[in-house]
């Protein structure tokens, strides 16, 4: 009888978790799925894992924004054999700058499309290229979370770099806010992986979150890869 009741209780807890709209945390407390991007729905034969390009998205992940290529293959990895990268972002600069001759000071003006692009990013879609968890994860209102990631890159334009953000949703999946997360705009090279992290706080009416890992607005020909991402 005790065993039967235990099974019923466990089943009830599982059903409740499924309908809560969130993703259970891993043993380490990380709420993001497949944080090192190792798993995908379609895999090459085991003997070639880590050697061939990966043709499908990593399990639990999708992407937003304008880019020439969203990479998911093993040419770079902080841990395991894979990372998630963005090549040739093309979402337009935040500022337009001009200096016709060296003797004239450089002047910059804001891109007039920034206001519209920022509002759309907060609500539904980022124009700057970013990887994101495919399904929203459950969060607690008012809770402070930490976003962290490792990055590596090539040919990054000065002043640009890795950015993060969180689109907060209510229980019905409607956007209730957007938080800028930690950024890294220093030198990013292919010589070694760089860690960065920072806090974000969920609004009082947030119940779910979509976490974005991407590149800041720019037009360039570079490459930026993320690995071992975390939201805890």
Cα–Cα distance measured from residue 225 to residue 187, given in angstroms and rounded to the nearest whole number: 14
Range picked from 9-18, 31-40, 114-123 for highest mean pLDDT: 31-40
Q: What pLDDT does residue 36 have?
A: 94
Tokens 């920022």 belong to 118
Residue 52 has pLDDT above 70, yes or no: no
Residue 150 has pLDDT above 70, yes or no: yes
Could you tell me what percent of the chain has a pLDDT over 90? 42
Q: What is the CA radius of gyration of the chain?
A: 20
pLDDT, averaged across the chain: 80
pTM: 0.78
Residue 151 has pLDDT above 90, yes or no: yes
Q: What pLDDT does residue 186 have?
A: 82
Please compute the mean of the pLDDT values over residues 144-164 and round it to a whole number: 91
Cα angle for residues 40, 208, 84 (degrees, 5° grid): 30
Confidence tier at 156 by pLDDT (50, 70, 90): confident
Residues 163 and 217 sit within 8 Å (Cβ to Cβ): no
Class of domain 25-231: mainly beta
Q: What pLDDT does residue 98 have?
A: 74
Sorted by where each begins, the domain ranges of the chain are: 25-231
Residue 134 has pLDDT above 90, yes or no: yes
Reported in sequence order, the residue ranges of the chain that DSSP labels E, i.e. its strands, are 61-64, 67-71, 84-89, 95-98, 107-110, 130-133, 137-138, 144-154, 162-169, 175-184, 194-201, 208-215, 223-231
- Collapsing DSSP states into helix, strand and coil, what is residue 81? coil
């Amino acid at each position: 009888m005790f065993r039967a009741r235990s099974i019923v209780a466990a089943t009830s807890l599982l059903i409740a978790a499924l309908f809560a709209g969130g993703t259970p945390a891993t043993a380490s407390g990380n709420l993001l799925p497949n944080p090192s991007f190792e798993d995908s729905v379609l895999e090459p034969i085991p003997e070639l894992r880590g050697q061939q390009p990966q043709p499908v998205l990593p399990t639990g992940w999708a992407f937003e924004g304008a880019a020439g290529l969203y990479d998911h293959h093993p040419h770079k990895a902080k841990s395991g054999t894979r990372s998630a990268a963005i090549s040739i972002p093309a979402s337009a600069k935040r500022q337009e700058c001009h200096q016709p001759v060296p003797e004239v000071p450089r002047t910059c003006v804001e891109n007039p499309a920034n206001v519209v692009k920022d509002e759309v990013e907060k609500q539904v879609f980022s124009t700057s290229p970013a990887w994101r968890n495919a399904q929203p994860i459950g969060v607690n209102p008012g809770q402070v979370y930490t976003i962290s990631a490792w990055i590596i890159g090539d040919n990054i334009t000065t002043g640009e770099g890795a950015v993060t953000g969180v689109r907060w949703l209510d229980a019905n999946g409607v956007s209730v806010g957007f938080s800028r997360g930690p950024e890294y705009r220093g030198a990013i090279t292919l010589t070694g992986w760089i860690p960065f992290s920072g806090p974000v706080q969920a609004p009082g009416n947030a119940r779910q979150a979509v976490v974005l890992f991407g590149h800041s607005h720019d037009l360039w020909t570079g490459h930026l890869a993320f690995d071992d991402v975390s939201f805890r």
